[in-house]
Structure 1
Amino acid sequence: MAGKSRLSEWLRRRSAGSDTDPGSAPALAREELINAAAAAGFPVAPAAHPSGYGCSCDRVGCPTPGMHPVSFAWHTQATTDPQKIDHWLRTLPLANFISATGASHDVLDVPADAGGIALERLAAEGGDAGPVAAYGDDRLLFFTATRGTPVDEDEWWPCELDCHPETVDEHPGLRWHCRGSYVLLPPAKLPTGGAVTWLPGRGPDRPLPDPLPLLEVLMDSCAQVEYVPETVGWRL
């Protein structure tokens, strides 16, 4: 499929380790990646992780194993404080991490095929997508500046694309993670065996783009793929 080949081109240099020894290369890379995200101003908080065929949390039949925060107070818990983050990394060596959106950044979350088309277009036009992460093989996360913290609260405007954790299923196409939402940060592990990883050269150190011009490109790209409910996927 053309979309998959596009994504494969962007992801060809990805690698994911499985060693969780605190002194191992994957563990050190995990610390570096989480600290780099926090240094870029992304507020982070610990999340559950896949455990066997389930979730590390104590919820029986957890519907989102390894993909939700540890604490229900993640809104206020999320931080960029290096000491707090170092404590979590040391005491929760298997934990995934989330970044709370709507404070310092938003995330535009699209199907992988559409995201691959958008990346090609932006590269051809000299545009900058900013930080971009792959959510397994299914979706791409475009990190942008936020529209969620205006000085005047009356100036904040909701959008039908706004996505919250409990409404993800309602947004199979383009999702806008802003106030009240979060995304898993690289190098999170997914229950499918995949991972959340930064695309090569598109880590959190890149400047955050304005979401509106990028939104236009992503919406055009999503219009070029067709959602197929019966196969839970997208095709060109």
Structure 2
Amino acid sequence: MSAEFGGRTGRQGKLSQWLRGRRPKETAGDDGRQAQLLASAAAGLPLAPAAHPGAGYGCSCDRVGCPTPARHPVSFAWQTQSTTDRAQIERWARHQPQANFITATGMVHDVLDVPLEAGREAMDRLLAAGIEVGPVAESDDGRLLFFTATRGTPEDEDEWWPCELDCHPETMDEHPGLRWHCRGSYVLVPPARLPGDDGRAVRWVRGPEHPLPDPLSLLEVLTDACARHVGEESGHVGSAWPMRH
């Protein structure tokens, strides 16, 4: 990974170094974890506690055969529970030291979630073109997460919003290409641990100190990269997301 891919020059100091792609194991334990969570909250990302890895590839929740181990909120009220309040996040981090955290999308920010290789290609193109990219997280399950401003609820939504892109947690398997997390969805926020014994994690590539860009400024490059990625995997050029009829 190049220095350019790690992000442009921003705030200095240890926190910025953590946020620019350093793996969670390089932070100072619980203090480093909490510092990253508080930095995300300070940037306006609403957080709520999530499950964490159990034994092997299991989940800390008590659901038999959990379909999204260590990737889901611990409370059904996660949308109303999500907050940027520093004191509340400190309490959660202190009382749930193993918990991952999710950030609820569609409130302040959305997330464009793409296959890793397609995302890296798009990142290089966007940065080379001088386009503001914003925060980006990398997940060791093969995804790159582009954090953007939320699209909100525009009056002309039906004129430009393609529902095929809209992704919710229960529909993620239907979206092997580009997933757009907005209202009613969430993603893991770094630092987060994924199931397995190989230290898989979710980490920042570009930290939350970067301003949130307009999602439409990234969409064309991301969908183009995803279309090529899907085409290469299937042996033909296809859609970047499954089309519904």
Q: TM-score, normalised by structure 2?
A: 0.81
- 5+ residue gaps, structure 2, are 7-19, 235-245
Q: Which residue of structure 2 aligns with residue 37 of structure 1?
A: 40
One-letter amino acid of the structure 1 residue matched with residue 71 of structure 2: M
Identify if the C-alpha distance between structure 1 residues 155 and 82 changes in structure 2 by more than 3 Å, giving closer, same or farther.
farther
Q: Which residue of structure 2 aligns with residue 184 of structure 1?
A: 188
Mapped partners of 2:128, 2:187: distance in 1: 28
One-letter amino acid of the structure 1 residue matched with residue 43 of structure 2: A
Identify if the C-alpha distance between structure 1 residues 74 and 39 changes in structure 2 by more than 3 Å, giving closer, same or farther.
same
Identify if the C-alpha distance between structure 1 residues 173 and 219 changes in structure 2 by more than 3 Å, giving closer, same or farther.
same
Mapped partners of 1:168, 1:45: distance in 2: 20
Mapped partners of 1:85, 1:13: distance in 2: 22
Q: 1:16 aligns with which of 20, 24, 34?
A: 24
**Deviation at residue 148 of structure 1 after TM alignment:** 2.3
Greater alpha carbon shift after TM alignment, 171-180 vs 188-197: 188-197
Identify if the C-alpha distance between structure 1 residues 7 and 194 changes in structure 2 by more than 3 Å, giving closer, same or farther.
farther
Identify if the C-alpha distance between structure 1 residues 9 and 63 changes in structure 2 by more than 3 Å, giving closer, same or farther.
farther
Q: Which residue of structure 2 aligns with residue 21 of structure 1?
A: none
Q: 1:107 aligns with which of 106, 111, 125?
A: 111
Contact map agreement 1:103 1:149 (CA 8 A) in 2: no
Overall identity of the aligned pairs, in %: 63
State how many pairs are aligned.
214
Q: Which residue of structure 2 aligns with residue 80 of structure 1?
A: 84
**Deviation at residue 220 of structure 1 after TM alignment:** 1.2
Contact map agreement 2:5 2:124 (CA 8 A) in 1: no
Q: Secondary structure at the match of 2:193?
A: coil
Q: TM-score, normalised by structure 1?
A: 0.84
Q: Secondary structure at the match of 1:216?
A: helix
Q: 1:116 aligns with which of 112, 120, 129?
A: 120
- 5+ residue gaps, structure 1, are 1-5, 19-23, 230-236
Contact map agreement 2:21 2:203 (CA 8 A) in 1: no
Structure 1 runs (4+) deviating above 3 angstroms are 6-14, 154-158
